[in-house]
Amino acid sequence: MEKERQLLVVFPHPDDEAFGVSGTIATHVQNGTPVTYACLTLGEMGRNMGNPLFTNRENLPKIRKEELKEAARVLGIQDLRMLGFRDKTIEFEDDDKLTNVMSALIEELNPSLIITFYPGYSVHPDHDATGAAVVRAVEKLPAAARPKLHCVAFSNNCVEELGEPDIINNISPVTETKLAAIQAHRSQTEQMFIGMEEKLKNQDPQVMMWINNERFWTYKFAH
């Protein structure tokens, strides 16, 4: 992975960083790159309450906030920003307000690389709206001054329409850190882990391939 001056990661939910990006984040941290993670919401609308239940709709955000902090600690993220938006409402926010939030982050941090979701190819409306806001903010900059923009996409049609991802980071040196980051989001990932534990122990090739390869599409600006 190329050494970056500053990485800015922008996602709407605690745990969005865990599955597809945490190995890349951990690698940049190891390279000595300052990392800022701006997380828009606390995942207030998550549906996993534990099985057996250990929380409820009103307490879930408090738990997820602690999980997010723990994941950031595990990954070595020095600068975690919780932006105070509400889960599942990002697409209904004022677009200009969101753009300005992203522009302010970019202006303050001057990142050489931004990681977010690919708008239109990221399934959850919050993902698409977050990615779109980042794209609008970066687009405002003159082409030569723009940071690199690497996007995560996972809609069923993403490869068909975007082509294969142009960046595949093999993160196997930091697999353990990545797994710890995923597990930090216990309320949301515990059940998934129960199904995966055996496969992880046996180094199941399909699961390890999924864990160890993080895929990004460089955003293509129209102008």
Partner 1 sequence: MELIDMKQVQAAINSFANQDVYIHLETTNGAYASHNDQSFFSAGAYIRNALVRYELGKITGNGPFRVGLKINLGWIYAEGLTHFEIDEDNRLLLAGHDSNGKLAVALEISSTPFE
Residue 57 touches partner 1, criterion: CB under 8 A: yes
Nearer to partner 1, 157 or 202 (CB): 157
Residues from 154 through 173 that contact partner 1 (CB under 8 A): 155-156
Binding mask 19-48 vs partner 1 (x if CB under 8 A, - otherwise)?
Answer: --------------------------x-xx
> Count of alpha carbons within 13 Å of 180, Cβ hemisphere only?
13
Edge-to-edge strand ranges of the sheet holding 213-218: 79-82, 35-39, 7-11, 113-117, 148-152, 213-218, 167-170
How distant is the alpha carbon of residue 101 from its chain centre?
A: 17
Nearest to 106 by CA among 136, 76, 78: 136
Q: How far is CA 208 from CA 29, 56, 61, 134, 196, in A?
A: 22, 33, 31, 31, 10
Q: What is the DSSP secondary structure assignment for residue 144, as one 8-state letter?
A: G
Output 73 or 88, the one with its CB closest to partner 1. Answer: 88
Q: Is there binding between residue 194 and partner 1 (CB under 8 A)? A: no
Write out the binding residues for partner 1, residues 115-154 only, by CB under 8 A.
123-126
Least separation in angstroms between CB 128 and partner 1: 11
Q: Which listed range, 53-61, 104-112, 167-175, 211-219, lies at the site for partner 1 (CB under 8 A)?
A: 53-61
Nearer to partner 1, 59 or 172 (CB): 59
- 66/76 Cα distance (integer angstroms): 15
Residues that bind partner 1 in the complex, under the rule CB under 8 A: 45, 47-53, 56-59, 61, 88, 123-126, 155-156, 191
